[in-house]
Amino acid sequence: MKKLVCIALKKTTMEKILLALDASKLNTRVLDFACYLGALTDSKITGIFLNNLVADDGLVPRELMFDRGNSNWQADSGSEEYHRKKKTIEKNISLFEEVCERKSTRYAVHIAVGDPVKEVIHESRYADILVVDAATSFRKKFEGIPGAFVKDILKDIECPVIIAPETFEEIDEIIFTCNGTKSSMFAIKQFCYLFPQLNEKKVSVLRVAEKDTGPAEEREHLKEWLSSHYSAVGFTTLTGAAETEMLGYLLKRKNAFIVMGAYGRSMLSAFFKPSAADLLIQTLNQAIFIAHC
């Protein structure tokens, strides 16, 4: 008689968290949040230290040279500013390694010299998620939050993005923003597959519509699917303008992980106006997961 062999399948989870960092200004708050995600999912954090030489043109204009041979910007290694910046970057990398080791988080370091947006988008193809601070900017003038760097990333990124909160305590609730489209469902699935460790958290599905309408059948399908992954699922439907109603609702939440799909993609330009971003990121202070198909 043949024996039946049971094979235990490992839960689907992530392996590589890409953390975008300004090489000259290490944000330890965002690093702490990334380490939390790394510990939660047992994933390696790859810190991509972005060193944009062209952006420093106003800082050290005489020390930057254009190499006609390979069409790359190169810094004059003999300049005082070059050595000062090099020491700063080395110090930041050491601090990054120290924090990861202290928190028992696996890590890797990648130094990227060039256009920060292009570097991050290229690396995102080989990552499970990207963690970034919405205030990250490589321009001297304040652009609002988020700045052009983050907006450009969100347009062409090749993996889900998590915008880190200003401060972080814990995650008590997961809020899925959903409008019934394939994009919103895609984001929900991506989050669920990447973070199976959060399956015991409270889940709220938020829908905003101009009219209080929506196919009950679709809601039942979604409820059935979510119930197979989470133990507590609730639904909230708001009527009115999406940006206003959503922000008003989210402002009342605390320690939530917000997941955006169709809302995140179709409403990015409107949702991330400077005033809305202030409310969402600075006042709301929640982690935001954005994915689009």
> So where are the chain's domains?
16-163, 173-290
CB-based contacts of 117, cutoff 8 Å, min separation 6: 149, 152, 153
Contact, 149 vs 137, CB < 8 A? Answer: yes
What's the predicted TM-score (pTM) here? 0.83
pLDDT exceeds 90 at position 268: no
**Average pLDDT of the chain to the nearest whole number:** 80
Query: b vs e for 38-74, b when ≥16 Cβ sit within 10 Å of the residue's Cβ?
Result: beebebbbbbbbbbbbebbeeebeebbeeeeeeeebe
pLDDT exceeds 60 at position 24: yes
- Give the mean pLDDT of 57-66: 39
Domain 16-163 -> CATH class: alpha beta
Q: Bigger pLDDT: 286 or 266?
A: 286
Q: Bigger pLDDT: 66 or 252?
A: 252
> Which pLDDT band, with edges at 50, 70 and 90, does 6 fall under?
very low
Q: What is the pLDDT of residue 271?
A: 52
pLDDT exceeds 50 at position 62: no
Sheet holding 129-132, edge to edge: 107-113, 44-51, 16-22, 129-132, 161-163, 287-290, 256-260, 173-177, 202-209, 232-239
The DSSP bridge partners found for residue 67 are 72
> Which pLDDT band, with edges at 50, 70 and 90, does 263 fall under?
very low
Distance in angstroms (rounded) separating the CA atoms of residues 112 and 115 = 8
Helix (H, G, I), strand (E, B) or coil at 217: helix
Distance in angstroms (rounded) separating the CA atoms of residues 272 and 23 = 25
> Which pLDDT band, with edges at 50, 70 and 90, does 130 fall under?
very high
Q: What digits encode the pLDDT tens for the residues 185-239?
A: 899 999 999 999 999 999 999 988 766 555 677 788 899 999 999 999 999 988 8
Lowest mean pLDDT among 121-125, 182-186, 266-270: 266-270
Q: What is the pLDDT of residue 51?
A: 85
Q: What digits encode the pLDDT tens for the residues 66-113?
A: 333 333 445 555 667 777 888 999 999 999 999 999 999 999 999 998
Question: 16-163 and 173-290: same fold?
Answer: yes
> Which pLDDT band, with edges at 50, 70 and 90, does 167 fall under?
confident
C-alpha dist (Å) from residue 62 to 29, 77, 198, 224? 34, 12, 52, 63
Q: Bigger pLDDT: 112 or 278?
A: 112
E-strand stretches of 172-211: 173-177, 202-209
CATH (residue range 173-290): 3.40.50.620
The DSSP bridge partners found for residue 175 are 204, 258
